[in-house]
Amino acid sequence: MDSTTSETAGTGLRERKKLATKQALAWTAMQLALERGLENVRVEDITDAVNVSRRTFTNYFASKEEAIASLNTDRAAGAADALRDRPAGEPLAESLAEVFAAQYQPATGVDQERAKAIRMLVSSPALSGEYLKTLVDAEGPLAAAIAERTGADPRADLYPHVLAAAVTAAVRAATGHWITTGSAGSLPELIRQAVRQVACPPASGTPAAAPNPR
């Protein structure tokens, strides 16, 4: 192995360690908040559990709320790549509906801890602002993927940006509805319906739950 290869490998290892530390802090913050209540968790509790310094925590996050909300960042940011992986001939509305429904699939069935985490993220006033940021940050990459899919120019065409914003708002609305109704029904199915409604609005007189695909 030459020096260049060795340096590249070392850099890759450091980046993986940083990512692992960041994820450990975020997951620990979430677990402690679920166990104790968010207001009863201090940054020191998180760093002690992960065995790192407070300075290490602040290298990644400005607050415990940001740390917890970051768990949604990867999911939201992955929507653009997931859209690119959908079948090329699939209607755009269906692709978007399946992309976002799949992200919340673990919230159903036996994964009650995941469901509790989603409820806390959406319903906690201290967390909801950070949660909204993760969705807004995902809109740009999603708009770019929509533009690729439709052949639009994202610099000149407003459509990809409007659709990306509408879809992320629909996901937030569906999740909020799921929370306020006592987590009744399937969250992924609610998200499918919500995304279809904005990605392919129903014609007059057409039931909202069964729109004609784009």
Q: Which DSSP string corresponds to 167-213?
A: HHHHHHHHHHHHHHTTS-S-HHHHHHHHHHHHHSPPPTTS-TTSPPP
Task: Return all residues near 48 (Cβ < 8 A) that are at least 6 apart.
Answer: none
Is residue 24 located within the same domain as residue 99? no
- 39-66 per-residue burial string, b: 16 or more CB within 10 A, e: under 16: eebebebbbebbebeeeebeebbeebbb
Give the per-residue pLDDT at 112. 64
Name the helix (H) or strand (E) containing 137. Answer: helix 125-150
Residues 146-174 have pLDDT tens digits of 999 999 998 899 999 999 999 999 998 99
Percent residues over pLDDT 90 in the chain: 48
Residues 180-198 have pLDDT tens digits of 886 667 888 999 999 999 9
Taking the whole predicted model, whether its pTM rises above 0.75 is answered as no
Residue 66 lies in a domain: no
Report yes or no: 128 and 119 within 8 Å, Cβ to Cβ: no
**Encoding tokens for residue 123?**
């319903």
Is residue 108 located within the same domain as residue 144? yes
Is residue 129 located within the same domain as residue 30? no
Kindly report the number of other CB atoms within 10 A of residue 121's CB atom: 22
| Structural domain ending residue among the three candidates 41, 61, 81 | 61
Give the Cα separation of 93 and 102 in Å (integer): 14
Residue 114 lies in a domain: yes
Is residue 128 located within the same domain as residue 214? yes
Is residue 56 located within the same domain as residue 77? no
| Structural domain ending residue among the three candidates 61, 79, 97 | 61
Give the per-residue pLDDT at 56. 95
Q: Find the CATH number of the domain harbouring 144.
A: 1.10.357.10
In the three-class reduction of DSSP (H, G, I as helix; E, B as strand; rest coil), residue 202 is classed as coil
Vertex 65: Cα angle to 20 and 145 (nearest 5): 65
Report yes or no: 210 and 174 within 8 Å, Cβ to Cβ: no
| Structural domain ending residue among the three candidates 9, 38, 61 | 61
Is residue 48 located within the same domain as residue 98? no
Is residue 40 located within the same domain as residue 13? yes
Residue 57 structural domain: 1-61
The domain tally of the chain equals 2
Residue 86 lies in a domain: yes
